[in-house]
Amino acid sequence: MTTGTPPILEIRGLRKKFHDVEILRGIDLLVLPQELVFVIGPSGAGKSTLLRCCNRLEEPSAGSVQVGGVDITARSTDINAMRRQIGMVFQSFNLYPHMTALRNVTLALVKVLRKPRAEAERLGMAALDRVGLANKVMLFDEPTSALDPELVGSVLNVMRELKRGGMTMLVVSHEMRFARDAADRVIFMDHGLVVEEGPPQRIFSTPGEARTRAFIAELGR
- Whether 2 has a pLDDT exceeding 60, the answer reads no
* Model pLDDT, residue 98: 55
pLDDT tier at 104, thresholds 50, 70, 90: low
**Across 41-45, 51-55, 121-125, least confident range:** 121-125
Q: Which residue has the higher pLDDT, 52 or 155?
A: 52
What's the mean pLDDT in 128-137? Answer: 57
Amino acid identity of residue 180, one-letter, is: R
Short-list 60, 56, 57, 52, CA closest to 172 = 52
For the CA atoms of 171, 95, 85, 124, the dihedral, rounded to the nearest 10 degrees, stands at 120
- Mean pLDDT over 60-78 rounds to 94
| pLDDT tens digits, 5-49 | 899 999 999 999 998 999 999 999 999 998 999 999 999 999 999
| 147 vs 12, residue with greater confidence | 12
Residue 134 has pLDDT above 50, yes or no: no
Kindly tell me if the per-residue pLDDT of 126 is higher than 80. no
Confidence of residue 64 (pLDDT cuts 50, 70, 90): very high
**Which candidate, 174, 176, 187, places its Cα nearest to that of 24?**
187
Per-residue pLDDT at 105: 64
Beta partners for residue 188, in sequence order: 40, 196
Separation CA 201–CA 43 (nearest Å)? 23
Q: pLDDT class for 128, splitting at 50, 70, 90?
A: low
Radius of gyration of the chain (CA): 18
Distances (CA, A) of 94 to 53, 134, 143: 18, 22, 12
Q: What are phi and psi of 35, to 5 degrees?
A: -90, 145
Angle at alpha carbon of residue 47, lines to 74 and 55, rounded to 5°: 30
